[in-house]
Amino acid sequence: MKNNQTNAASAAQRRVDLAADIERFLADGNEIQQIPDGVSAQDPQGRSQPLRPNQAKGKKSGA
């Protein structure tokens, strides 16, 4: 029983932390991009992996 209470408390704390992180992100002038339902970053043909946000086109990460 105590483990369930601990999990619920930690989940509640994660929600509070996430809300604070989002507020800070927005306060810094950033925006949250809304992606429409059904849109996927995966190539339907499975030819490649999607680009990472900090990866420039044509360059491989880790180089």
| Res. 22 pLDDT band, cuts 50 70 90 | very high
Residue 5 predicted with pLDDT over 70: yes
**Does residue 51 contact residue 42 with C-beta atoms inside 8 Å?**
no
Query: Where do the domains of the chain lie?
Result: 1-28
Alpha helices in the chain (DSSP H): 2-27
Residue 1 predicted with pLDDT over 60: no
Q: Is pLDDT larger for residue 46 or for residue 21?
A: 21
Number of DSSP helices (H) and strands (E) in the chain, helices first: 1, 0
**Does residue 51 contact residue 57 with C-beta atoms inside 8 Å?**
yes
**Which pTM value belongs to this model?**
0.49
Minimal CA–CA distance to 50: which of 63, 36, 40, 38?
40
Average pLDDT over the chain reads 79
Q: Is pLDDT larger for residue 10 or for residue 41?
A: 10
Q: Is pLDDT larger for residue 11 or for residue 3?
A: 11
